[in-house]
Amino acid sequence: LAEATLAGGCCPGASHNRFAYNEAGQVRIRAGLPIYECNSRCRCGAECPNRVVQRGIRYDLCIFRTGDGRGWGVRTLQRIRKNSFVMEYVGEIITSEEAERRGQVYDRQGATYLFDLDYVEDVYTVDAAHYGNISHFVNHSCDPNLQVYNVFIENLDQRLPRIALFATRPIRAGEELTFDYNMHVDPVDAESTRMDSNFGLVGGSLGGSPRARGRIECKCGAASCRKFLF
């Protein structure tokens, strides 16, 4: 791992990228840069510091009903350290064409769970409507406490990153978890400009699709609220 930044070294170096984590497993690279974790071809064990997202959720989380019209939400029952991995956005991988078709159906139903995988090109979308985990219930905020990162583990196809959510700051026990559905990262190099998330709105009475969205009022309540989701 000491040679992870060298081409031919550990997984990040072999992909010409930086080692993403510190010794405590907290992400130390800026959003927009990819994370390459060790995989089944590596000789290291499960406790390798370059195996974080693949270990899954490590915090106690719960689903609750919000009292301000945002539907269901997710809160943590434990304190979460800044830059720690919290959860992966999980769902069914479908083509963008299928996402467009489903998005129109979801619009009529008033809910959708589509997340475009557009790290390098917009070919695939994650749909968490039928298959997923607790991330299905995470609400939007214009001042979120979670940040999206693209992660590659067993697969090096840049069209198919895994979507990992890391804490942007220390999060108190009992606090709601949120991320920005209309996230844009600051460019740090050519790679980072590829990582703007297109999220088909989650939950509640919100409608949307990967391509066509109306002006949806934001109810996040943040001081920096943009007033509209898209």
147, 67: one domain: yes
Q: Where residue 9 falls among pLDDT bands split at 50, 70, 90? A: low
Residue 19's nearest CA partner among 45, 43, 48 is 48
Residue 117's nearest CA partner among 91, 143, 146, 86 is 91
123, 27: one domain: no
pLDDT over 80 at 1, yes or no: no
Q: What is the pLDDT of residues 104-123, one digit of tens each?
A: 888 777 676 889 998 888 89
Q: Where residue 196 falls among pLDDT bands split at 50, 70, 90? A: very low
Instruction: List, as one string, the DSSP characters of 180-198.
Output: -TT--PPPSSTTGGG---E
> Is 52 within the bounds of a domain?
yes
76, 149: one domain: yes
CATH assignment at residue 74: 2.170.270.10
Q: How many domains is the chain partitioned into structurally?
A: 2
pLDDT over 60 at 8, yes or no: no
> Is 55 within the bounds of a domain?
yes
pLDDT over 50 at 12, yes or no: yes
Binding residues for S-adenosyl-L-methionine: 70-72, 139-140, 181, 219
20, 81: one domain: yes
pLDDT over 50 at 195, yes or no: no
pTM of the model: 0.84
pLDDT over 50 at 211, yes or no: no
Three-state SS at 106: helix
- Terminal Cα distance for the chain, rounded: 41
- Report the 10 Å Cβ neighbour count for 28: 11
Residue type, 108: R
| Nearest-10 Cα torsion for 36, 41, 43, 48 | 30
Do 117 and 111 touch, CB atoms closer than 8 A?
A: no
> Is 199 within the bounds of a domain?
no
Binding residues: 10-11, 38, 42, 44, 48, 70-72, 139-140, 142, 181, 218-220, 225
> Is 169 within the bounds of a domain?
yes
**Domain with 108 in it:** 90-129
Element (H, E) at 162: strand 162-167
- Walk across the sheet containing 114-117 and list its strands: 92-95, 124-127, 114-117, 198-200
Active site residues: 89, 181
Instruction: Give the separation between CA 116 and CA 145, rounded to whole angstroms.
Output: 21
Residues ≥6 apart with Cβ < 8 Å to 194:
32, 118, 119, 120
> Is 213 within the bounds of a domain?
no
103, 71: one domain: no
13, 122: one domain: no
CA 20 distance to own-chain centroid: 16
Instruction: Give the separation between CA 196 and CA 171, rounded to whole angstroms.
Output: 24
Domain final residue pick, 164, 181, 198:
181
> Is 162 within the bounds of a domain?
yes
21, 77: one domain: yes
Residue in the block written with tokens 């609400």: 139
Mean pLDDT of 199-223: 54
Token pair of 53 as six digits: 């997202």
Binding residues for Zn(2+): 10-11, 38, 42, 44, 48, 142, 218, 220, 225
29, 83: one domain: yes
